[in-house]
Structure 1
């Protein structure tokens, strides 16, 4: 009985080895750096983000100025004037936070612009990765830059240059 079980296990493990899966990985950052449209889109996003951040900073600096002026004048103000100034500061702060949320928040303008500019590029890269996988009969391709922990990867499994070539660009020495 033990002999039959051992033979059966050997056959199962031998059969598993014969149908080994093929794996590879890509470096998405490396691929994206080779796409000129991505680089120009990223520059546009950085410029837009910097512009909006300056506006947010200016709003908060103005609020800080209002608060310092209020503190300096507080002893001279009547109760009604104090309440009015406090409400003005609170309202300006709410407006600044709302502006910040509209520009930088989840699904804010920056997110929408990023989606509009970057998503088509990511879709092209995804299709190219799939085409490389199909052409080289790979079962799985991991992204070296994703949250999956990749403890070791042989350079021969790196298909990033194949994806760049599939996209119509020339792989280089960017890393």
Structure 2
């Protein structure tokens, strides 16, 4: 009977020891900012933003020109012409406000579209590094708060190495 209890006790202890999870962390924003592709994405996003901005400036200029024309001709216009001009200006102003509001959303959508392949690449490398090093879970440290975190489980440097990115040195 004693040997059975010792056997089960040993089995229980060994299963507890082997079932422990290895948890690691990665600073994904840090890695993303160091990826060379991120600079290309940033350039493309800026170019898209400039295109949106130029379209917006054209709309604003058309509106200003029409306001100026209306103000110059206001005294000679008939009631119907004034009413039509005011409706047109109001519609242009509404369009400009909508375009301005949509511009931010369009920029965010474009940036997300451009960043998606980078996030996929990073996710694949993190999974590969985690599997190769026996981690059961990897947490991102960006945006999360930890009371204590052992830096020996941070795989940021391993992910950078796998991506072929050199870690910059601090020159402070």
Q: TM-score, normalised by structure 1?
A: 0.69
- Contact 1:45–1:113, Cα closer than 8 Å, also in 2: yes
For these two proteins, the number of residue pairs brought into alignment is 159
Which residue of the partner structure matches residue 39 of structure 2? Answer: 39
Aligned-residue RMSD, C-alpha: 3.4
Larger Rg: 2
2:67 and 2:149 map into 1 onto residues whose CA distance is 56
Question: Displacement, 1:41?
Answer: 1.5
1:13 and 1:72 map into 2 onto residues whose CA distance is 91
Q: Which structure 2 residue ranges, 5 or more long, are not aligned?
A: 1-11
1:141 and 1:101 map into 2 onto residues whose CA distance is 37
Describe the shift of the 1:25–1:57 C-alpha distance in structure 2 as closer, same or farther (beyond 3 A). farther
State the Cα deviation string for residues 20-65 of structure 1 (Å, max 9, x = none).
3221111112111221112121122123213312432442354356
Which residue of the partner structure matches residue 164 of structure 1? Answer: 160
Question: Displacement, 1:103?
Answer: 5.0
Superposition pairs for residues 81-120 of structure 1, below 5 Å?
81-97=81-97, 99-100=99-100, 104-105=104-105, 110=107, 113-120=110-117
Which residue of the partner structure matches residue 5 of structure 1? Answer: none
Q: TM-score, normalised by structure 2?
A: 0.70
- Contact 1:124–1:167, Cα closer than 8 Å, also in 2: no
Q: Which structure 1 residue ranges, 5 or more long, are not aligned?
A: 1-11
Task: Indicate yes or no: 2:149 matched with 1:153.
Answer: yes
2:70 and 2:101 map into 1 onto residues whose CA distance is 26
